[in-house]
Amino acid sequence: MAQLRQDFDDFRNRNATVIIIGPEDEEAFRSHWEKEGYPFVGIPDPDHRIADRYGQEVRLLKLGRLPALTVVDIDGLVRYTHHGSSMQDIADNAVILDLLDDLNEEHRSAEN
């Protein structure tokens, strides 16, 4: 999440909303969120309903949920998904920011 925090303004400048889904219960999640002061939206998902819906893998031998990132466009369509194969396999922000630029351009073109 440090990577997302570092580039948060870049995401916001591209009209993106960053939402983090975490496996903790609401109280633990809120406590962690407040302690870290994350600038993005966070949603606790202790029953894995959201994670399951988007296909996020859970591997007990890999310490739980593997990193996953999904980009959903303004129309609610999934436009990009990255499922990490290890805890260090995190989507590169530059790739996501480029994708957001492309989606914003596509949206502007469709409006004209």
Q: Any idea what the CATH number is for the domain that residue 19 is in? A: 3.40.30.10
**pLDDT, tens digit (0-9, with 9 covering 90-100), for 52-102:** 888 887 766 556 778 888 998 888 888 998 888 888 888 899 999 999 999
What is the reported pLDDT for 13? 94
In Å, how far are 102, 106, 107, 108 from 111, measured between CA atoms? 14, 9, 6, 5
75 domain residue, yes or no: yes
DSSP-derived letter for residue 63 is T
**pLDDT, tens digit (0-9, with 9 covering 90-100), for 12-25:** 999 999 998 888 89
Which tokens hold the place of 84?
């990490």
What is the reported pLDDT for 23? 84
112 domain residue, yes or no: no
19 domain residue, yes or no: yes
Which residue range forms the structural domain that includes residue 92?
Answer: 2-107
71 domain residue, yes or no: yes
Band of the pLDDT at 36, cuts 50, 70, 90? Answer: very high
Contacts of 60 (CB under 8 A, 6+ apart): none
103 domain residue, yes or no: yes
62 domain residue, yes or no: yes
Phi-psi region of 15 (alpha: psi -120 to 50; beta: other; left: phi over 0): left
Number of independent structural domains in the chain: 1
What is the reported pLDDT for 64? 73
